[in-house]
Amino acid sequence: MINEIALPSPRQTFEDNMRPAHLLLQVYQLLDANDEIRTDGQMLSSLRTVVGAGRDEYLLLINHELFLGLVRERANLTPAQLRTSRLCNLLRQSVVASCTALETYLPALLRVNLPLLIRARGRESVPRGDLQITEQFKLLTFTLDEALRIMTEPNPEEFISNQILSNISGSYLSGTRGIAVTGKLLGLTQPWQEIGARLKRETKDLAKTVDTTVSRRNDIVHRGDRSQSDPSGEQQPIEFSWTQSAVHVITDVCNALDELVASQVSHLREMMAE
């Protein structure tokens, strides 16, 4: 008998997708030598001997408190390509990777947990009168055939959950709204307030950072990091400190959401077992 391969959890999926964002930040730190790339000097001469490079081979040396690196001629790199202004593209791709991780994580979290919430709470699983939920699912409808199917399905919660997820796929979950909608569907009354309390940080600051990061991702992907108000202008500057903060906030927010949902699901399982 062939054992079924266990699918990764939503949190593991998030961490796997988030790893490139953190890696890009680390690579930026290693390569950023403040535009001081050496092409000669005593250290370079010593390293030339160590690696067996000929006297005529063009070498680049990156040397700072975090990294000692030697770039050989066949790498076909010039000092200009390793300047901070060029390396900033690593930061931009880190922003893109972090937003992709967020937008992959939210549907995965719903896919795993929403059927249980619907089974346990029934009609109460969807917050009534909530404007964000109403707006998100204003186009969600069930045909007569689908309504009758719900009445005869052995696991109707799975069918309803799949319909909800199918509706979401047409307008992907992202930013503060996506996090709020996901949290509310999974039993959190005030997702952002609960996330802020868990992280012991100001909710408005966390939410602003998430939305600013998603907006910047859109600028990067759609306009080469030019602002929406001036799409033909210069690229917007980007700093390591801001990028690192943005990536860490998305990581922290998703980890907090995961813990809150896990606690909610555990509580529901205990209630259903009684």
pLDDT tens-digit profile of 202-215?
999 999 999 999 99
Confidence grade of residue 147 (pLDDT, cut at 50, 70, 90): low
Which uninterrupted H or E stretch holds 142?
none
For residues 67 and 30, the answer to whether their CB atoms sit within 8 Å is: yes
With 90 as the cut, is the pLDDT of residue 19 above it? yes
Query: Widest CA span of the chain, in angstroms?
Result: 81
CA distance 246 to 213: 6
CA distance 263 to 253: 15
Neighbouring residues of 159: CB distance < 8 A, sequence distance ≥ 6: 146, 149, 150, 153
pLDDT at residue 137, as a whole number: 67
Average pLDDT on 212-237 reads 94
Average pLDDT on 118-122 reads 75
With 60 as the cut, is the pLDDT of residue 187 above it? yes
21 SS3 class:
helix
Q: How many CB atoms lie within 10 A of CB 40?
A: 9
The whole-model pTM stands at 0.85
With 60 as the cut, is the pLDDT of residue 112 above it? yes
Which uninterrupted H or E stretch holds 157?
helix 156-169
With 80 as the cut, is the pLDDT of residue 177 above it? yes
